[in-house]
Chains A and B, each alone.
Chain A
Amino acid sequence: MTTIGQFSLLIAFALSLYIIIAYWIAAKSDDERLRASCENSVYALTGLIILSSVALFYAFVTHDFSISYVAHYSNRDLSLFYTLSAFWAGQKGSLLLWSIVLSFFCSIVSIQNRHKNRELIPYVMIVLHVILGFFIFLMNFSTNPFEKSFETPLDGSGLNPMLQNPAMMFHPPTLFLGYVGFSVPFAFAMAALITGKLSDVWIRTTRRWTILSWFFLGMGNLLGAQWAYVELGWGGYWAWDPVENASFMPWLVGTAYLHSVMIQEKKDMLKVWNMSLILLTFSLTIFGTFITRSGLIQSVHAFGETTLGYYFLGFLFATIAFSTYFIIKRLPLLKSKNELDSFVSRESSFLFNNLLFVGIAFATFWGTLFPIISQAVRGIKITVGPPFYNQVNVPIGLALLFLMGLCPLISWRKATLANLKKNFILPFSIAATAGAALYPSIGKGHLMAWLTFTFSIFVLLTIVVEFYRGTKARSETTGETPLTSFFTLIARNKRRYGGHIIHIGIVLMYIGIAGSSSYVTEVQQTVKKGDSISIKDYTLTYQGLTEAQPNPSQISVIANLNVEKNGKLVWQAHPQRDFYPVTRQQPSSEVDIRSTLKEDLYVILAAYDDTDNLATFKILINPLAKWLWIGGVILGFGTIICMWPDMREKQRMMSKYSTDKTFVKQEVSV
């Protein structure tokens, strides 16, 4: 099976080269037979990558430790669930994961566009297969997932205990769906530049791809944060680690792009800017992959192989050079009729929104690379940690939050100041009053958090007003009940109201972050059996330790505490320390969390001495932490609404673009 897997990768590489060359010839010669051959090759290539992946899964499941990757990341005692997730635990498997996701996407793009975008598709496929071919090249000639062990061990090293968490099954694939998904709009953008077909067709074709990729990248980040919160045991969820930053930056720029394309669709403006944004988004996904594999940046997430880093750096430069060349070449065609009726307009507010998103991305990029810059300039290594990002990004993030509330109040084209004042006064007054009322209790010493809450109230009110006005207008016009009008309003304009729901999710995430970062209460205490620890309204009484052996290679020492709140028993906490005497991995801490809408009670077993019946606990109260995850769920719900097929919008697009010849030939994709 290993041989099949290895051989499949080799054939896949050859096939990717064939696809690139054959599609180029087919595009130039308009040879339908060659084109059909290319399409079939795309599906065959997907099949080969699947075969290779199945071979690696099989090796894991059958404990084939003759493969060094399998020996390194699994052992016989590992459950099937984590054995499967070990596939992407390391460098080699993650490259194969990238390849299988991208090959699937190539097949889907081919199927979706069998009867449309005929001029663009050959070049789209060429770009996608250059990317895919690069990853397959690496797996064949640099870092082979099927590389043999020097000596076949009797048992593997096992999976890092920190990775033995359910989020491990979902976090990397979700993140990769996001990373890889942005290859598709990038490929379409490049195809549009190469062919000179620079109408909105490529944007409309890739709109769902963009939203889906943005959604998965966001969810991947959130799942990673959740994993860190539950598994790493320090009470936080985001440490501004370079690898975390690497997945955050493309999401930020992708968000700017999602907003900015609306202006191109409505006003046929910002074509160069949108091209640049999608190039930047894709480049940042490659940059993120480079960061984890270059060894340049120290991170617990990093794989750290230095030679692979050079390949990615070269690929990154080639991508930027190639794309920039074509953008410059097509500048005359990209020039749009750039005009605005007024400075105070939604179009200009979107530009400032873009500025802030790109600004935060730049600040994060700058902070991530500054240690290298400092070493190059001064020869001194420094660290750029959370205090830097918090001090720089939080004020910019606050400005963005405020803009999120302001933008919907401003009309397209031209907003009069009188109209703006009328829309602005009520939500702003209520938010300002609420903020003033909250300041004495939460504002002192926590200015940023207090501003977050005040702005959040403002944004939520503007969204409520949007829904209220729309529902009221509809209800009065149609005679429907308000509830019917509310749902019909959303159904008839999914993009707009789905966007508002996404904004609600984002605001809730802001609230969760502000509460759990700024108002944490913590205590660390060593107690003996029967003693209690008090923190705010809670009293935790230590009951003693128990020992368990969930599997032959793991020993768990579990602390038991009765938790009372205001004198009433509300919970029993069981934080634990896990030890791995067989595999000799680092001990890990498993926290226990009692999560409510108001706060999380977070209990860590820091140390213990069972001889003297002593244990040291670190206990934190994280206010509003749960709202971060709830916000994520609402964001997901809003995304689904945005992406839901809309026949009405499809017909609107058909009538709007019926004069576009390339458009008339194809089915509209909304």
Chain B
Amino acid sequence: MKKTGRIILTFMLLSIPLFASLSWADLLKEQKEVEEHLMCMCKDKCGKVLESCICKYSDQYRMDIAMKLKEGLTKDMVIKTYVDRYGEKALSAPTKKGFNLTAWITPFFAIMIGGVGIRRLVSRWVSTRKDEKRENISEEKDVLKNSKYSQLLEKELNEFD
């Protein structure tokens, strides 16, 4: 911890003149964005995004990123150096191209399919109910038609005719 503190302090003291000539806020913002895109690749496999990690190794990664940004590398270039060093697992989320795109679209695609399925199912159930209602009404009509009063009426109408 003492060594880390010294390193941080030394870095900060040496960097003051340089940072004074750059936008400090912009650099910090860029640094944060890079850290959000990367995982902490420490030996303990803490599994945290670098931006949230507080393990002792994460400080070293942060200083490395700060140095690279200070040297003039863009965010994407800094991220690429880590991907080149550690592979795609250094990224905190899959890229949105190639096979990795399936990671992103599959859940929404599944929900969409489910939604269409529910829509069709409910429509079928509603039409089943409507058919049943129509059948019930038609049966009621038949019942009425075949009731003794209907028959009597028909008989008298026939006699009248």
State whether A615 and B118 are in contact (beta carbons under 8 Å apart), knowing that A359-B110, A387-B36 are contacts in the complex.
no
B2 engages A362 (CB within 8 Å): no
Residues of A within 8 A of B59 (CB): 606-607
A481 interface residue (CB < 8 Å to B): no
B48 within 8 A of A: yes
Across the interface, do B114 and A341 meet the contact criterion of CB distance under 8 Å? no
Residue B129 is within 8 A (CB to CB) of chain A in the complex: yes
Q: Which of B48, B115, B126 contacts A341 (CB 8 A)?
A: B126
Measured between alpha carbons, how far is A37 from B110 in the docked complex, in Å?
49
Q: Is the CB of B9 within 8 A of A586?
A: no
B1-30 CB contact bits vs A (8 Å, 1 = yes)?
A: 110111011001000000000000000000
The interface residues of chain B lying within 8 Å CB-to-CB of A299 are 47
> Is the beta-carbon distance between B126 and A340 smaller than 8 angstroms?
yes
Q: Chain B residues with Cβ under 8 A from A239's Cβ? A: 47-49, 52
Cα(A380)–Cα(B1), bound, Å: 35
Whether B104 lies near A355 (C-beta < 8 A) is: no
Q: Count contacts on B: residues with CB < 8 A to the other chain.
A: 49
- Determine the chain A residues whose CB is within 8 A of the CB of B107 once the complex forms: 359, 362-363, 366, 392, 396
**Residues in chain A near residue B118, CB distance under 8 A:** 348, 351-352, 355
Say whether B8 contacts A607, CB under 8 Å: yes
Q: Which residues from chain B contact A363 at a C-beta distance below 8 Å?
A: 107
A151 close to chain B: CB less than 8 A: no
Q: B74: CB under 8 A from chain A?
A: no
> Hey, which chain A residues are within 8 Å of B121, CB to CB?
338, 351
Instruction: Determine whether the beta carbon of B2 is less than 8 Å from that of A380.
Output: no
Known A367-B103, A387-B93, A610-B2; contact A339-B126, beta-carbon cutoff 8 A:
yes
A397 CB–B CB distance under 8 Å: no
Q: Are A618 and B94 in contact (CB under 8 A)?
A: no
Is the CB of A32 closer than 8 A to any CB of chain B? no
Contact B114 A526 (CB under 8 A): no
Contact B103 A607 (CB under 8 A): no
Stretch at the interface among B38-46, B134-142, B151-159: B38-46
A587: chain B residues within 8 A (beta carbon) = 1
A227 to chain B, nearest CB (A): 15
Indicate if the CB atoms of B92 and A386 lie closer than 8 Å.
yes
When C-beta atoms are compared, the residue in chain B nearest to A364 turns out to be B107
Smallest CB gap from A338: residue in B: B125
Chain A residues touching B, majority SS: mixed
Q: Which residue of B39, B53, B99, B122 is within 8 Å of A383 (Cβ)?
A: B39
Task: Report chain B residues within 8 Å CB of A384.
Answer: 93-94, 103
Assess whether B110 is in contact with A607, with CB atoms less than 8 Å apart: no
B42 to chain A, nearest CB (A): 11
Contact A340 B122 (CB under 8 A): yes
B92 engages A387 (CB within 8 Å): yes
Distance between Cα atoms of A608 and B4 in the complex (Å): 8
Q: Mark A349-376, 1 if CB is under 8 A from B, else 0.
A: 0011001101100110011001100100
Chain B CB within 8 A of A378 CB: yes
Q: Per-position contact with B for A591-606: 1 when CB-CB < 8 Å, else 0?
A: 0000000000000101
Cβ contact within 8 Å between B104 and A234: no
Residues of B within 8 A of A370 (CB): 94, 103
CB distance from A90 to the nearest CB of B (A): 18
Contact assessment for A383 and B129 in the assembled complex, using a CB-CB cutoff below 8 Å: no
Closest B residue to A356 by beta carbon equals B111
Q: Is B87 among interface residues, defined by CB-CB distance under 8 A? A: yes
Question: Within 8 Å of chain B (Cβ to Cβ): is A466?
Answer: no
Binding site for B on A (CB under 8 A): 233-236, 239, 241, 298-300, 338-343, 348, 351-352, 355-356, 358-359, 362-363, 366-367, 370-371, 374, 377-378, 380-388, 391-392, 396, 526, 557, 577, 586-587, 589, 604, 606-612, 614-616, 618
Given contacts A239-B52, A339-B125, A384-B94, 4 further A-B contacts (CB under 8 A): A338-B128, A351-B121, A383-B39, A387-B37
A-B contact pairs, 17 of them (CB 8 A): A233-B54, A339-B125, A339-B128, A340-B126, A342-B126, A343-B122, A359-B107, A359-B111, A378-B99, A384-B103, A388-B94, A388-B104, A392-B104, A526-B9, A587-B1, A607-B5, A612-B5
Residues of B within 8 A of A (CB): 1-2, 4-6, 8-9, 12, 36-37, 39, 44-49, 52-54, 59, 87-94, 99-100, 103-104, 106-108, 110-111, 114-115, 118, 121-123, 125-126, 128-129, 132
- 5 closest residue pairs by CB, A with B: A363-B107, A609-B5, A339-B129, A385-B92, A387-B93
